[in-house]
Structure 1
Amino acid sequence: MSAVSPARATALRVVRRVFEQGAYADRALRAEAEGLDPRERALAKRLVFGVVQRHGTLEWIVARHAKGRLQPEVRAALWLGLEQLLFLDGVADHAAISESVELAKPGPGHKVVNAILRRVQREGIELPADTDPQGAAIRHSHPEWLVRRWWDELGADETRALLAANNEPAELVLRINTLVPVDASQLPPGRREDDALVLDGPFDLAGSPLFAAGAITPQSRAAQRVARFLGPRPGERVLDLCAAPGGKTAHLAALMGGEGDLVAVEQHTGRAGALQRTCERLHARNVTVVVADASRFQTDRPFDRVLLDPPCSGLGTLRSHPDLRWRVTEAAITQLAALQDRMLQAARGALKPGGTLVYSTCTISREEERLVGDERFQTLPHRDGTDGFYVARETP
């Protein structure tokens, strides 16, 4: 194992944790990559996210080359090698093969890894065409049930473009917190859109003094559109009915200039604590965190504006949450839709007559578009370059 780079060794541990223990890729990577230098950490992330995203395709390839049962560590090493050979630019073939073989040692399975990778290097791989949902599911590595659903809802061309975009890296975006004065010259290089800063390249967010001071926070451009769509004003009474982890809550507070009454509801105590800490870091001092079940929320003091961002399948965020595509099920979407309806009823009950209600989900799923609304918009990764969101607004 001495010949293996820290990035590849880390990637192997994370991939095994994801597929053998059910760990979340981003969380496991954060823990396992602790102490790596930025370059090694970046490579480890590319490898992990690539293998998890391409898992369906990689397994299809393995099934056509491997005979018999492979040990978990051998299979994971083979995935990493195939990902580098076939999908990762800037990695030399000899490094991809030799280090993957080392990852599979000391057992005899390393010979299988070597043989398969060298054969793929020589002969290449011909993936199925994406002319139908089955072929598209293999070629673009998504569950077939999901591809079929999008094929019906979006059409074949849109689906193929969406599947391809989901395997690309997500853009790096910060929100500039207007509650904290900051000199524009201190900000990292990037393109500014309202409060969003689309970064030109990698950025050490956790080590940034601006992050510690609450002047910046990560948030996709699509997510930042939600608070603006609600349009809160200073001095109003606003409800964020399903608020954790707090990115939209803090954005609402910033748009209100820190003035008014902003109530943020979260059912789980631990998440409510994290929500409170987020608001404190981002100087959202007009926020009151309430621990309550959003689907049963009631109030004697109705709100001018209500944001409902309920639990959803998250299918619009597959670029930044690569393992989510393998976790979501059709049955779960139906269950989520029923929960969303209950929360929507509570949101309407908390709204003043003539008030504004915004319903937002970070998913691409017609079944979860529970509010049609007077005005609505959808973002799609392949079309808008940001997360997939459905957002609707109504004024009863």
Structure 2
Amino acid sequence: MRLGGRLQAAIEVLTDIETRHRPVPDALKDWGLSHRFAGSGDRAAISNLVHDALRMKLSHGFIMDGDTPADLAVATLLRQWNITPEELTASLDGDKFAPEIPSTDHLVACLARDLSQAEPHVRADIPEWLAASFERAFGDQWEAEAQAMTARPPLDLRVNTLATDRDQVLEAFAEQGAHATRLAPNGIRIEPGLGPQRQIAATSEVSFARGWFEIQDEGSQLAAALAGVYPGEKVLDYCAGGGGKSLAFAAMMNNEGSINAYDADRRRLAPMIERIRRAGVEIIHVKERAANLAGLEGRMDRVLIDAPCTGTGTWRRRPDAKWRISDKNIADRTADQDKVLEDASVFVRPGGELAYVTCSLLPEENTDRVKAFLQRHPEFETISLKERWRSAVADADAPVPYADQNLGLVLSPRRTGTDGFYFAGFRRKA
């Protein structure tokens, strides 16, 4: 397909998402099924166009003075793919599959609009009603923090040190320009492609089948490292999901000790079984039901809560979620977070630690929940995050990304080059 056909396809997918309120993956899948002639390169380019358009939906609308799917798709080519108005109109000229677009002069005039005159939330590309939460989280840097969420995310890998080392995995991905992550000591990063370029399918590599690595954002790797597990300990991963952090713990513990992996939705645990086998992990015990945790109360050295959240920290990867979030979503998640903190804290032994993690940037889900928990549970105290950060990261000079009032840490694309994560650690008083 030529650029015109790809542009028209992106407009059709964006229209489907807008009119039927559908997640991006579903709309892209349906388009692909009804257009089987499109090759893998075409599908990747169309997906990139759609995701990029949604990442900067509001500022695109301001620049184009309109926010139709066509406006957003055209603005994406001009502002994110760096195609000039002259190049774009020339490329579409005579293409019968291309949509109609404004004239070159009109597009030039659009690009000349002064974005600094837009409302702050438009410049930040976030819903207006969330601006106050971002300002609470980041102070006068909130707009820049939100803007950093509009970039494409990299592909991060965590080297499985039970099977290999980072140098060997770097060699396996040398052709893709892989390099060591700055903060995660066992991370590898492959930068995102430009324009229509697709990201590599890392799980199709032989080295993946050998168990050499897992796909895991550097921020998630750091959250696991901040939990500070040691060989021989008893660990509970209370909201284990697919097991990414449990697998990281197993490597950090050198397969010594025990890790109990539990999730309230046991269907989320199913992928972990194959991942455990592939990674050569021997100490993870999957707990399908809450009843399986009986007898562990007050015995765990460390408990991790990777809490259910709104996922605002993952907006680079799921930009459509940015425009679907609501007050009810936040209220539902904060209730869930309070409950898992209550339920999981009973498993921490005296002197043991509880780690609370979200992939959210909102104080409502982060510092507010920690303050409420500490008020309810004076038997817990916070841990020294400066010392924990220094021991967890590879770059000793990296600034400690404190949250508001130093109550936890906030990782973000702008601060740490990672997805958005929050980490808070507590110790049960002996």
- 1: CA distance between counterparts of 2:265 and 2:98? 40
Shift of residue 45, structure 1, vs aligned partner:
3.6
Q: Secondary structure at the match of 2:312?
A: coil
Conserved 8 A contact 1:240-1:264? yes
Conserved 8 A contact 2:237-2:260? yes
Between 1 and 2, higher relative CO (CA 8 Å, sep ≥ 6) is seen in 2
In structure 2, the partner of 1:135 is 119
Count residues with an aligned counterpart.
372
Deviations 1:363-395 (A, max 9, x none): 111111223533332212212111121101111
TM-score with structure 1 length normalisation?
0.82
Change (3 A) 1:242 1:10: farther
Q: How does 1:323-362 map to 2 (within 5 A)?
A: 323-362=320-359
Instruction: Find out whether 1:299 has 2:308 as its counterpart.
Output: no
Shift of residue 147, structure 1, vs aligned partner:
1.6
In structure 2, the partner of 1:43 is 45
Conserved 8 A contact 1:165-1:381? yes
Conserved 8 A contact 2:4-2:92? no
Conserved 8 A contact 1:266-1:289? no
Shift of residue 127, structure 1, vs aligned partner:
4.8
Change (3 A) 1:256 1:80: same
- 2: CA distance between counterparts of 1:254 and 1:365? 31
In structure 1, the partner of 2:89 is 94
- 2: CA distance between counterparts of 1:124 and 1:392? 43
Deviations 1:103-140 (A, max 9, x none): 54xxxxx4xxx34776233553525526xxx7022233
Q: Which of 377, 384, 393 is 2:416 aligned to?
A: 384
- Aligned residue identity for 1:254: A
Conserved 8 A contact 1:240-1:249? yes
- 1: CA distance between counterparts of 2:128 and 2:94? 32
Instruction: Find out whether 1:394 has 2:426 as its counterpart.
Output: yes
Conserved 8 A contact 1:173-1:199? yes
- 2: CA distance between counterparts of 1:277 and 1:10? 36
- 1: CA distance between counterparts of 2:44 and 2:102? 28
- Aligned residue identity for 1:139: R
Conserved 8 A contact 1:175-1:197? yes
Deviations 1:202-233 (A, max 9, x none): 53313211122221222121111122112222
In structure 2, the partner of 1:107 is none
Change (3 A) 1:250 1:129: same
Q: Secondary structure at the match of 2:342?
A: helix
RMSD (Å), alpha carbons: 3.1
In structure 2, the partner of 1:317 is 314
Shift of residue 20, structure 1, vs aligned partner:
3.2
Conserved 8 A contact 1:78-1:117? no
- 2: CA distance between counterparts of 1:31 and 1:263? 39
Q: How does 1:67-216 map to 2 (within 5 A)?
A: 75-90=68-83, 92-94=87-89, 102-104=97-99, 110=100, 114-115=101-102, 119-129=106-116, 135-156=119-140, 158-181=141-164, 183-184=168-169, 185-188=171-174, 189-192=178-181, 193-200=184-191, 202-216=199-213
Deviations 1:305-346 (A, max 9, x none): 100011011111211221121122233213211211111011
- 2: CA distance between counterparts of 1:309 and 1:230? 11
Q: Secondary structure at the match of 1:18?
A: helix
Q: Which of 223, 230, 238 is 1:241 aligned to?
A: 238
Q: Secondary structure at the match of 1:272?
A: helix
- 1: CA distance between counterparts of 2:32 and 2:329? 32
- 2: CA distance between counterparts of 1:159 and 1:265? 35
Instruction: Find out whether 1:232 has 2:229 as its counterpart.
Output: yes
In structure 2, the partner of 1:70 is none
Report sequence identity in percent: 25
Structure 2: gaps spanning 5 or more residues: 193-198, 372-381, 386-407
Change (3 A) 1:14 1:303: farther
Conserved 8 A contact 1:235-1:260? yes
- 2: CA distance between counterparts of 1:278 and 1:340? 27
Change (3 A) 1:17 1:258: farther
Change (3 A) 1:155 1:212: same
Conserved 8 A contact 1:81-1:117? no
